[in-house]
Each structure stands twice: as C-alpha cells, then as structure tokens.
Structure 1
C-alpha cells in the first residue's frame, strides 16, 4: 500500500487559487473608482476625479431611466515663447463614461451632483413613502 504524504498547507493554496484573477480580462484600468452608499433617505454615488472641475462632467438620466456619468478632461501645457521649440511637451486626455441602473425607489426629479476636493458626488434621494396607515371601508357594489 502506498502511503500518501499530507500537505497541511493544501487548504490555503486551494482558496488562493479560487480568487486569482490573472486569467480574467482587465476592465478599463484607467476608470476612476466609484463608491455607492445607501441610507434611509437615499443613495450617494462618489466618483474619484482628482483635478477635475464641474465643467469636465456631464451627468444625466437617459430615456431608459439610467444615470449616465461622463467625464472628459483635456489638459495641455502651452508655452508662449516663440523663440524656442519643443523638446518635450506634456499633455493628457482622459475620457470616462459609466451607466448606473437606478433602483425603483429613486426620486429622479431630485437628483443632484457636485464636485468637491477631487470627488464627484451624486445624491439620489429616495421617494418618500407615507408611513401613515389609512384604513377605510370599501363598499362592495
């Protein structure tokens, strides 16, 4: 009878293999990080946008009722000295678009957005539902 050697470390290795994502295609690696929080009064979407201003964003609701967040930033360093030529010129361009499917309890008429300290914050208030119980007699005809 052949004796099998037991490796006490097999369990952690097995679980590490389950969470390896090297084989998965990378999503847009330059996409900004997004946080979504929920409270009793609504949802808050935070999007990391360092160096961006409110002019760099377009936030709207499309025909299907989804929230669309677009960001586009063109930055170019211009030198006005005409007697020199460029040996190095730095510029950047970034573009991002995210579609968020909104929950049914969002009051779409009261959505607001602001940019502050490099973070775009979109507030999605929930529809206020009356908590008063109304009882009444219904006449059967």
Structure 2
C-alpha cells in the first residue's frame, strides 16, 4: 500500500498536471463567480425576550417577489425573478437573460408562535418577527436578599 500526501496549497496534481487549472479558469470566470456568490442572500437571526427576529438581505426585489410559508416547524422563504430584455430589429452577438431564484429554510423552535408571524420588506431587507409563545417568554424578576 502506498500513502500519497495531500497538499491543499498546491494547485496542480502531480498525477494530472494542468487539470485543476482548466476548472479554475472556467469556474473563476466572472460570469460564474457573480452568480455563485449572489445566489443565496445573507441572513441575520436574533432573539429578544419575546420575539425571534430574522432579517434577510435581498436588495432589488419587490415584496410581491417573496413567498414565505410555514409547514409544521419549517419556515421557508423563497423568490424567483426573471428579466428578459428583448429589442426588436437588433442583431445580438451576446444576449443574457437575468434569472434569479433562492430558497432558504429554517427549523423553528417549539417556543415560536407560528400563528402570529409577521413580515415586512423595506430598503432591501425582508424582516420577519416570530413571537414566542407565552409560556416560553423569559420571566425576569428581582430576588430580594434577606
């Protein structure tokens, strides 16, 4: 048996020289890179005493583009947009259609009240407020020392 050391810093494999360079040149193209990075919007999730807060950064969309649904304990946020720019009477050498879609799913804690979830979209941020059930809210009280 022969052990072959793996060196992650070395781009070319000694067995197939130039093989990784081909994929790096194709996948490193800005056409693919821009679409890979922008396919899933960033999300911030926070918690306060009586709510869970989800903020999803999705600029350039309209509130009608979003679909927010809850099934059992799974919250799903998705969107799909298509932009086709067609001009009659022109000869195109290159024509690109804009299509973007994403789906983000989150498992909700048992303490979330799914019947009272609210959502708003303003300045490119989709905000969801998930209230906690009454019995799950943190009760804070001062204890007197005797």
Fold-level similarity (TM above 0.5): yes
Counterpart of 1:97? 103
**TM-score, length of structure 2 as denominator length:** 0.61
Deviation (angstroms), 1:114: 1.6
Q: Hey, what's the Cα distance between the residues in 2 that align with 1:96 and 1:111?
A: 21
Q: Secondary structure at the match of 1:60?
A: strand
- Structure 2, gaps ≥5 residues long: 1-35, 140-146
Counterpart of 1:122? 128
Confirm or deny that 1:66 pairs with 2:77: no
Q: Secondary structure at the match of 1:97?
A: strand
Counterpart of 2:85? 77
Deviation (angstroms), 1:120: 1.0
Q: Hey, what's the Cα distance between the residues in 2 that align with 1:111 and 1:32?
A: 21
2:73 touches 2:109 (CA, 8 Å); kept in 1?
Answer: no
Greater fraction of residues in helix: 2
Cα deviations by residue, 1:10-45 (Å, 9 ceiling, x for unpaired): xxxxxxxxxxxxxxxxxx642110100111120111
Counterpart of 1:108? 114
Counterpart of 2:48? 39
Counterpart of 1:20? none
Q: CA RMSD in A?
A: 2.0
Deviation (angstroms), 1:127: 1.2
Displacement over 4 Å in runs of 4+? none
- Structure 1, gaps ≥5 residues long: 1-27, 132-141
**TM-score, length of structure 1 as denominator length:** 0.63
Q: Hey, what's the Cα distance between the residues in 1 that align with 2:73 and 2:48?
A: 21
Counterpart of 2:143? none
Larger Rg: 1
Give the aligned length. Answer: 101
Q: Hey, what's the Cα distance between the residues in 2 that align with 1:106 and 1:53?
A: 27
Deviation (angstroms), 1:47: 0.8
Q: Secondary structure at the match of 1:55?
A: helix
